[in-house]
Amino acid sequence: MQAIERLKPDAARRLEIPDATLPGLYFIIQPSGAKSWAVRYRHGGRTRKLTLGAYPALDLAKARTEGRAALQSVSLGQDPVAERKVVAPLPTRDLVGSVIDSFIERHVTPRNRPRTAEETIRILRSKVLPAWDSRKIQDIGRRDVIELLDRIVDAGTPIAANRTLAALSKLFNWAADRGIIDANPCVRVKAPAAETSRDRVLDDDELRLLWRGCEVIGWPFGPFVQLLLLTGQRRDEVAKMRRSELRNGGTLWTIPAERAKNGQLHDVPLSAAAKIVLGVLPRVVGQAGYLISTTGNSGVSGYAKAKARLDAVMLSLARTDAEAAGSDPNDVTLEPWRLHDLRRTASTGMGRLKIEPHVIEAVLNHRSGVIKGVSAIYNRYQYLDEKRDAMDAWAAHVEAIVSGTVR
């Protein structure tokens, strides 16, 4: 038989390549790229096919040994297919869905931060399970992975395809480490989409529209976006802010380590402007004590719809302003932006206010950049006073932009 590694799948049909040494033994290559061994024989006047196992878990030597044993039983009047159905039904533990459940239970949940675990679980259950749930994980080949990623790209979500590849690679590495599969089919599969770092920063005119738009759409999303801008913290950190995290009379917000992206407890001094936004929030009764919530038991959500509504209000306000100034409102457009851009806007704004880079990093709860290496290990000073000055200066600058008095 020609070198197995050089055999390629045919997208149009399944290939069955006979073994030159053992008549009746075939190497099967599916259009998906999955490879396996099978024996063909006749029993009771009918042609039968016995699948021996997947390649490379079952190599050529083992396949010949098992194939020879199966053919010997046929010569004795036995039917290996019927015997296998009785003795060895398909183990559900090898199905992709079962392996994913085990991966989540034994690796994802206990070894990742909650937010990372939640995202990995979401990807595996929404992107992978619908495609492969009923298949054996040993039958998933490199071509299956590429075809799945192509479908996600074709759906218009190339970055989601990148994230799916990363989650799959972790899943298959874990499965290989535990002996469930012999090799990770994601090896040498390239990320479908190129990703570049964003540098979008909202300018002063956009910030004025943003603030006015937040006031128009109101609670809960309006105050939520205003707090993103004023604090410079991450979306989910602000969305899941709890009353129990406020200290020192509401002047300090402590984000616990389990909610921070880098796993480090983070103290965020709250400016007077931020306290005003928090102070006018309706108090929603709920056991969890979420501050920006419609139920009190979960943080604000539905970002996409709320963001689309805010975009529409901002555009309407911009066109109204243009018309009042004697310009054609139909010529007005707004450059797309994301909620995370507000964090970059706050960071950039503080830099323009001549705030030291290491203080800005402290505000953002970054642990790499200006202070790194040995200095990062031994410098445990939290810069709390410096952070408070920075947050107050940034909030005052935002207020000046909104009021039109910025210099």
**pLDDT tens figures, 81-102:** 887 755 444 457 899 999 999 9
Choosing from 49, 67, 89, the residue where a domain stops is 89
Distance CA 108, CA 118 (A): 9
CATH of the domain at 146: 1.10.150.130
Model confidence at 237, pLDDT cuts 50, 70, 90, reads: very high
pTM of the full predicted structure? Answer: 0.59
Q: Which of 63, 89, 115 is the last residue of a domain?
A: 89
For 215, the domain range is: 204-403
136, 159, 177: which is the final residue of a domain?
177
Query: How many CB atoms neighbour CB 8 within 10 A?
Result: 10
User: What's the mean pLDDT in 290-305?
Assistant: 86
CB count, 10 Å around CB of 283? 9
Give residue 185's pLDDT band: very low, low, confident or very high (50, 70, 90): very high
My answer on whether 215 and 360 are in the same domain is yes
Region for residue 25 given its phi and psi (left: phi exceeds 0; alpha: psi -120 to 50; beta: otherwise): beta
pLDDT at residue 157 is higher than 70: yes
Crossing angle between the packed helical segments 221-231 and 303-324, to the nearest 10 degrees: 80
> Same domain for 130 and 59?
no
How big is the CA angle at 172 (ends 29 and 186), to the nearest 5 degrees?
60
Residues 6+ apart with CB under 8 A from 281: 219, 220, 223, 291, 292
Q: What mean pLDDT comes out for the span 315-328?
A: 93
Residue 314, pLDDT > 90, answer yes
pLDDT at 195: 78
> Which pLDDT score, from 0 to 100, does residue 381 have?
57
Contacts of 143 (CB under 8 A, 6+ apart): 9, 31, 32, 33, 34
Total structural domains in the chain? 3
Encoded tokens for 210: 């943003």
Here the CATH number for the domain that contains residue 64 is 3.30.160.390
Outline where 138-266 has alpha helix (H): 142-154, 158-177, 204-217, 221-231, 235-239
78 plus 121 within the same structural domain = no
Helices (H), 51-113: 60-75, 80-87, 96-103, 109-111
Mean of the pLDDT values across residues 100-115?
Answer: 90
